[in-house]
């Protein structure tokens, strides 16, 4: 469907470098896209006497354009009566054993669910309990 977007999980790495207080102090935190970039930062940190500590961890971003309509073509977002100009959308994040999770949006008109990102084959064991009779 042309006006339905696609979202996917993108894993990045966040590092934190703790600077020697006698140098500049504080913590520098940045994201890098790849493990290779992370390794380069860690190597650099280990060789830099002004860096007194570091840590890193993965951060997962859901990127892309979320779907705006259910399979029947209804808008997933409805105008928010209390905040003009804002859109209300019923979306919940469900954990998944095979990936970082799925956003499940319920259509306010027909109750159909839109699952983003679309479950991959390895997500099949997951059961999202939103709409009775629909097994994901």
Residue numbers of the site for Zn ion (CB under 5 A)? 70, 72, 74, 96, 98-99, 107, 109-110, 112, 123
Name which of 51 and 123 has its Cβ closer to Zn ion: 123
| CB 126, min distance to Zn ion, A | 6
Name which of 10 and 40 has its Cβ closer to Zn ion: 10
Q: Hey, is 123 helix, strand or coil?
A: helix
| CB 112, min distance to Zn ion, A | 5
58 vs 13: CA distance, rounded Å: 4
Name which of 40 and 72 has its Cβ closer to Zn ion: 72
Instruction: Work out the angle at residue 128's Cα, subtended by the Cα atoms of residues 123 and 130, and round it to the nearest 5 degrees.
Output: 155
| CB 115, min distance to Zn ion, A | 9
What burial letters (b/e) apply to 99-116, b meaning 16+ CB within 10 Å?
Answer: bbbbbbbbbeeeebbbbb
| CB 18, min distance to Zn ion, A | 35
Name which of 35 and 125 has its Cβ closer to Zn ion: 125
What burial letters (b/e) apply to 61-70, b meaning 16+ CB within 10 Å?
Answer: ebeeebbbbb
């Amino acid at each position: 469907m042309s006006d339905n977007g696609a979202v996917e999980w993108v894993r990045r790495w966040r590092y934190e470098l703790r600077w020697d207080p006698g140098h500049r102090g504080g913590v520098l935190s940045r994201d890098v896209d790849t493990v290779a970039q992370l390794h380069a930062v860690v190597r650099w940190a280990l060789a830099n006497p002004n860096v007194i500590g570091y840590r890193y961890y993965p951060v997962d971003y859901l990127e892309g354009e979320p779907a705006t309509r259910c399979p029947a073509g209804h808008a997933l977002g409805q105008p928010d009566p209390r905040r003009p100009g804002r859109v209300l959308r019923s979306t919940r994040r469900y954990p998944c054993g095979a990936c970082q999770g799925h956003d499940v949006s319920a259509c306010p008109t027909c109750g159909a669910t839109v699952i983003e990102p679309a479950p991959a084959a390895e997500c099949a064991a997951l059961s999202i309990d939103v709409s009775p009779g629909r097994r994901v």
